[in-house]
Amino acid sequence: MATTPRVRSRKSWVLAIPLTVLAIGIGLLCYFGWDYAQQTVFVNDQQEPTYDAAAYGPRLWPVKPAVGTKIGELDIPSLHLEAPVIQGTGWNQLKHGIGHYASSALPGQGGNVFVAGHRDTVFTKLRYLKKGADIIFETPYGNFVYQATSFQIVKQTDTSVLAPTNHETLTLMTCYPFFFFGFAPDRYIVHTKLVSEPNAAAREVLSQASQHS
């Protein structure tokens, strides 16, 4: 018996539906796969506007960095982790690296320098960090070196970790548990102490070099 046009049309629709779903699935996989790769493998290759410290001389952070500006890089040698630090902790900033909480202190200002990153991208190795490990915050003024002193797990609503301090410290935060489907309920905190910083003479040299580069 010959197949009628109506039957052929019905068969075409039945075949088209799974093919369309498959195509959409492949498209989404490629999109999110590339987005994830940019946040991990290629995170240091992205071009972001950089804080122009040379325009202001050796004085530390005379103008507050604009949100979305790269203010330095965070290097944790023991974890082989290096990623740009972007001013701001919004979704767009955290897609491009580690976010610096804009209301917290900046390196060298003698307060709580607070940074955050996603547990499944830039801070996925943070769970392996050991007490005493060096954490280097590379800035236009030189390197500020901190040392991990303690670790803490708090609820996502606990804002005490953001509190200002009367001494220089770097606080790192990411979501916890590290392996969790959906929005994690807690936060993993790394506390540190400052062990070295560039002096005024070193900042002057860096400023002059930047001005002539």
Retrieve residue 104's tokens.
């917290």
State the catalytic residue, choosing from 30, 100, 118, 212. Answer: 118
* CA–CA distance, 152 with 174 (Å, rounded to integer): 11
The yes-or-no answer on residue 30 being catalytic is no
Under 8 Å between Cβ of 74 and 68: no
* Residues written for the chain: 213
* CA–CA distance, 54 with 59 (Å, rounded to integer): 10
Retrieve residue 16's tokens.
């088209």
Half-sphere exposure at residue 24, Cβ-oriented, CA atoms within 13 angstroms: 6
State the catalytic residue, choosing from 80, 100, 175, 191. Answer: 175
Residue 190's nearest CA partner among 133, 142, 110, 118 is 133
The yes-or-no answer on residue 175 being catalytic is yes
Q: Which residues are catalytic?
A: 118, 175
